Amino acid sequence: MCGICGQLRFDRRKVSSETLNKMMLKLARRGPDSNGQWINGKIGFGHQRLSVIDLSSLGSQPMIDDKLKLSLVFNGTIYNYKSLRDQLTSKGYTFFSQSDTEVILKAYHFWGENCVKYLDGMFAFAIWDSSSHQLFVARDRMGIKPLYFNTTSEAFTFASNSQALMTQSLDKTINPIALQQQLSLHGVVPAPNTIINGIQKLKPGTYVTIDSERNIQENTYWRPNAKRPVGNVSEEEYIERTHELLTAAVTKRMNASDVPIGVLLSGGLDSSLIVALLKEAGHERIRTFSIGFEDIDDEAGSEFEYSDQIVSRFDTEHKKYKVSNQEVLPRLSEAVMNMAEPMVGQDAVAFYLLSEQVSKHTKVVLSGQGADEAFAGYFWYPRMANEDGDEIERFSKHYVDRPHEEYLQTVANRYRGENHTRSWLNKEFSKPGADSFIDKVFRTDMTRLIVDDPVKRVDNMTMAWGLEARVPFMDTELVEWALSIPPSLKMKEEGKHPLKNIARGLLPESVIDRKKGYFPMPALKYIQGEFLEFMSDILLSDACLNRGVFDRSYVNEVIDSPRQYMTALNGSRLWHLALLEYWFQINVDA
């Protein structure tokens, strides 16, 4: 796991070391173990390394293979690298390291652009082929690893976060389409857009090729269906296959490492099941980590009563952290500084603070992200399924943060326009390969929305402390299978029926049958006291007024009655506005 950056120039100028240095400084926290640069005239790569596989210098990057005339920078982990290595060895390739990085180089040389179809893992990488003078850039199927880029007539520049790109000369104005999506889809701006006009991001399951003449070709190599399998499959067979695939997903993420691995244990079904399956697979002395915050009113700030049960049952090596609200506010700026894009999910700050502590004990953790989207764990899925009428309206009523009419009231006149969010949803729902409306919802959530919400938050907040997070529930084969399961089966037992069935006998019933919980940070949901003062100051600041994004009268109404402005998903509209402006002040204005 690392931070990568690079540049291919089209104007016949050489890439400068200073250009790479500026970007690498913004990536340093992603890879604190070592760093490296490689420049060859018009092409240059930079790399910040977090050593997880092949800890020796032989696994360092940028990795150059003079014999094959290939150079590579890579962020991520390839779980099947050992089997691919054996396959490529049988084809006559020799290896100088034990790393998954080198396997990608050889795989590209042998399979060309199709190499991505053989890679099982999370990845973002760039390969320069000096024979063809072509740059190949790819991102994993689920978009777990980020890849941002800027394209001008002078150069193609890429990096693992937007902060690195903003060290370069680019258009930092606000993208109006992204702004609407940011405020409508609780912080989700689907690729290729970002909130910054001059920065784009590579879509999940996609690769691009760029040559020296600025010819750019984009190809999508993975498009999952949400259709039932051919032939009759019983409920028991659906659940049994889910058990097999989830066990394999957990095990291969545990085994692909040369350093110890822990589990982020929230106390919910998903992370608890990961611990149980590790134990079932024979792993002993499992490391677990939990965090909790102060309660506000009836809103619990921790799930310790459940995580403690898992620790007791499986005798894990556990560390528990309790954070007061007084500790949260002074650390908000740090978390926001490490957000590649504005992230309104209240658990972003929680993950940031937890990762700080966990990184003192391990470099790699497993996390339960993706289970709710894959197996229907959220309350809004059955509500959508029970609605009639227009599909976009059925979805939007229970998911979109503010109707388009309210969005028009939220922003200043120059950012008002057509309903881009509805247009995007209509495009996603119109894609072939889904059996029903709710299948479309699951596919859109799992393959597009989750990428730029919980997955991005976990990557950014863990990597801010040089901590690699692996997400078994987002295993490609498991996701494809989950999308094929009848929605009615997934939504039984108030959601996640297959996972609950697997957990019976493994986990305490109190953990399985508890009401669905969320990574709690009540202070960012029910805004009051110093948090209200803090957010008010941001939204009434000169910087915010001069930026001119929000309608002033609307902002004043939200500040005056923050608890009257909650979203369909029970988030705070005030926090959404304040976070967006705060992100600009810290990451763009600075």
In the Cβ-directed half-sphere of 123, how many Cα atoms lie within 13 Å?
28
Determine the pLDDT at residue 348.
83
Q: Write down the pLDDT at residue 571.
A: 85
Question: Which strands form 287-293's sheet, in the order they lie side by side?
Answer: 317-323, 287-293, 261-264, 364-366, 468-470
What average pLDDT does the segment 363-370 reach?
A: 93
* Cα dist from 106 to 44, 69, 81, whole Å: 20, 11, 11
Give just the sign of the alpha carbon dihedral 95, 99, 105, 106.
positive
Q: What is the pTM (predicted TM-score) of this model? A: 0.95
Tell me the average pLDDT across 485-503. Answer: 96
- Helices 235-255 + 269-280 axis angle, to 10: 80
Contacts of 466 (CB under 8 A, 6+ apart): 29, 30, 31, 32, 33, 50, 359, 363
SS (H, E, C) 311-328: HHHHCCEEEEEEECHHHH
Could you report the per-residue pLDDT of 38-83, keeping only the tens digit for each?
999 999 999 998 777 767 777 788 999 999 999 999 999 999 999 9
Q: In whole angstroms, what is the distance from residue 479 CA to residue 370 CA? A: 9
Altogether, the residues listed in the chain come to a count of: 590
**Per-residue model confidence as pLDDT tens digits over 415-463:** 999 999 999 999 999 999 999 999 999 999 999 999 998 899 999 999 9
**pLDDT tens-digit readout, 137-174:** 999 999 999 999 999 999 999 999 999 999 999 999 99
Pair 115, 56: CB distance under 8 Å: no
Give the C-alpha separation, 518 to 508, whole Å.
Answer: 19
Residue bearing tokens 């690729």 = 191
Query: What pLDDT was estimated at residue 24?
Result: 97
276: phi then psi, degrees, rounded to nearest 5: -65, -40
What is the identity of the amino acid at 137? V
The per-residue pLDDT for 322 is 84
CA distance 370 to 347: 14
3-class SS of residue 127 = strand
At 291, the amino acid letter reads I
- What whole-number distance in Å separates Cα of residue 419 and Cα of residue 416? 9
**What confidence score (pLDDT) does residue 525 get?**
76
Residue type, 483: L
- Whether 296 shows a pLDDT value over 90: the answer reads no
Cα-Cα-Cα-Cα dihedral sign, residues 503, 509, 514, 517? negative
3-class secondary-structure state, position 483? helix
2 is an active site residue: yes
For residue 325, name the pLDDT band (cuts at 50, 70, 90).
confident
Catalytic residue among 2, 5, 115, 544: 2
Dump strand ranges (E) for 434-508. 468-470
Instruction: Identify the pLDDT of residue 590.
Output: 80
What CATH number has the domain spanning 235-376+444-522?
A: 3.40.50.620
With residue 335 as reference, give the H or E element that holds it.
helix 332-337
Q: How far apart are CA 361 and CA 238, in angstroms?
A: 38
Contact 133, 8 (CB under 8 A): no
Q: Where in the chain is the domain with CATH 3.60.20.10?
A: 2-220
Give me 538's structure tokens.
Answer: 């941001």
CA distance 198 to 202: 13
Question: At 221, is the pLDDT very low, low, confident or very high (cuts 50, 70, 90)?
Answer: very high
Name the DSSP class of 226.
Answer: B
Element (DSSP H or E) covering residue 292: strand 287-293
Cα separation, 499 vs 514, in Å, equals: 13
Predicted local confidence at residue 301, as pLDDT: 63
| Residue 504 φ/ψ, nearest 5 degrees | -60, 125
Q: Which residues pair with 264 in a beta bridge?
A: 289
User: What does the block give as tokens for 56?
Assistant: 């020796």
Using CA of residue 36, residue 143, residue 490, residue 244, what is the dihedral sign?
A: negative
pLDDT for the residue 293: 76
Ranges in the chain annotated CATH 3.40.50.620: 235-376+444-522
pLDDT in tens, 231-283: 899 999 999 999 999 999 999 998 877 777 899 998 899 999 999 999 988 88
Gap between the Cα atoms of 62 and 21, Å rounded: 14
Residue 299 has a pLDDT of 61
Q: Which CATH superfamily is domain 2-220 in?
A: Aminohydrolase, N-terminal nucleophile (Ntn) domain (3.60.20.10)
Going by C-alpha positions, the residue among 400, 275, 289 that lies closest to residue 350 is 289
Residue found by looking up tokens 């991505």 in the block: 116
576's tokens: 């959404």
Q: Which helix (H) or strand (E) holds 82?
A: helix 81-90
Closest among 349, 344, 365 to 265, alpha carbons compared: 365
**What was the pLDDT predicted at 506?**
95
pLDDT one-digit tens code per residue, 509-538: 999 998 766 555 666 777 888 999 999 999
pLDDT of residue 50: 77
